[in-house]
Amino acid sequence: VILNTVFIPVFVAAVRIKLAFLAPMIVAFTIVGAYSLKNSVFPVFLMLGMGVIGYFMKKLKYPPAPLVLALVLGDTMEATVRQSLKISHGDIGIFFSRPLSAALMSVALAMALFPLVMFVYRKLRGRRGGVR
């Protein structure tokens, strides 16, 4: 907290820098940081690709929370799904064998299909309204 208080004038000065100067510096630092991670250009291209994806997500008003949740929980989920499939010798029925897991999978499937069902419902409802 004390360190942050000391650097308040520096932070204020950084906020006042014009975007035309600040953006190239940020890009340069991120490229150097991505390259220095593995001394390879692959992380740089990966970073640029993720930046393009992020740009389009922002333009299409896609909420970032689902992506962050997937990035945080994705590795854990992948490991546990792989472990479950090893235990069941590749049978996906293990995810529906218990009542609780079957209920959770059904709810997840319903939530995944709900936007599609609503889209079709609105289209059909719009056609009926236009005919009358």
Q: What is the pLDDT of residues 50-107, one digit of tens each?
A: 999 999 999 999 998 988 999 899 999 999 999 999 999 999 999 889 999 999 999 9
State residue 4's pLDDT score.
Answer: 82
Alpha-carbon distances, residue 16 vs 19, 20, 23, 29, 30 (angstroms) = 9, 12, 13, 19, 21
The C-alpha atoms of residue 23 and residue 7 are separated, in whole angstroms, by 21
**79 and 120 inside one domain:** no
Q: What confidence tier does 129 reach under pLDDT thresholds 50, 70, 90?
A: low
**2 and 53 inside one domain:** yes
**8 and 23 inside one domain:** yes
**53 and 7 inside one domain:** yes
**31 and 80 inside one domain:** no
**7 and 55 inside one domain:** yes
**117 and 84 inside one domain:** no
Mean pLDDT of 2-29: 89
Which residues constitute the domain of residue 109?
96-132
**43 and 3 inside one domain:** yes
pTM reported for the whole predicted model: 0.54
Number of domains in the chain: 3
Percent of all residues in the chain with a pLDDT value above 90, rounded to a whole number: 75
Q: What confidence tier does 130 reach under pLDDT thresholds 50, 70, 90?
A: low
**44 and 87 inside one domain:** no
State residue 81's pLDDT score.
Answer: 93
State residue 46's pLDDT score.
Answer: 95
